């Protein structure tokens, strides 16, 4: 594994090492979710949600799409598979 790839994985796992961010990832496993839905379901302040979404987006865990005044989030390619692997290890 080269240094660039190691840095990338450290960034991803660091972003996932937070309960609110893991909850967001869990919500997005079902597909695209609007920001206001995340805010309502997690019952955190808007600045806190923005902070966590920013960390996940910066690490490449999720993608943001804007449609008018709506901000929608979805998992980046490959992240669902990573979560599935982690769940399998936990269950097995």
Residue 75 DSSP one-character state: E
For the chain, which domains are there?
Answer: 3-91 (1.10.10.10)
Separation of first and last alpha carbons in the chain? 26
pTM of the model: 0.86
The answer to whether residues 74 and 63 touch, using CB atoms and an 8 Å cutoff, is yes
Q: pLDDT for 6-63, tens place per residue?
A: 998 999 999 999 999 999 999 999 899 999 999 999 989 999 999 999 999 999 999 9
The partner residues of 77 in beta bridges, in order of sequence, read none
């Amino acid at each position: 594994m080269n240094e660039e790839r190691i840095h990338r994985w450290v960034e991803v796992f660091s972003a996932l090492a937070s309960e609110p961010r893991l909850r967001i990832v869990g919500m997005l496993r079902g597909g695209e979710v609007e920001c206001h839905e995340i805010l309502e379901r997690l019952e955190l302040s808007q600045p806190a949600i923005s902070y966590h979404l920013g960390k996940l987006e910066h690490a490449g865990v999720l993608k943001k799409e804007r449609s008018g005044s709506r901000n929608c989030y979805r998992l980046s390619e490959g992240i669902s598979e990573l979560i599935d692997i982690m769940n399998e290890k936990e269950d097995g």
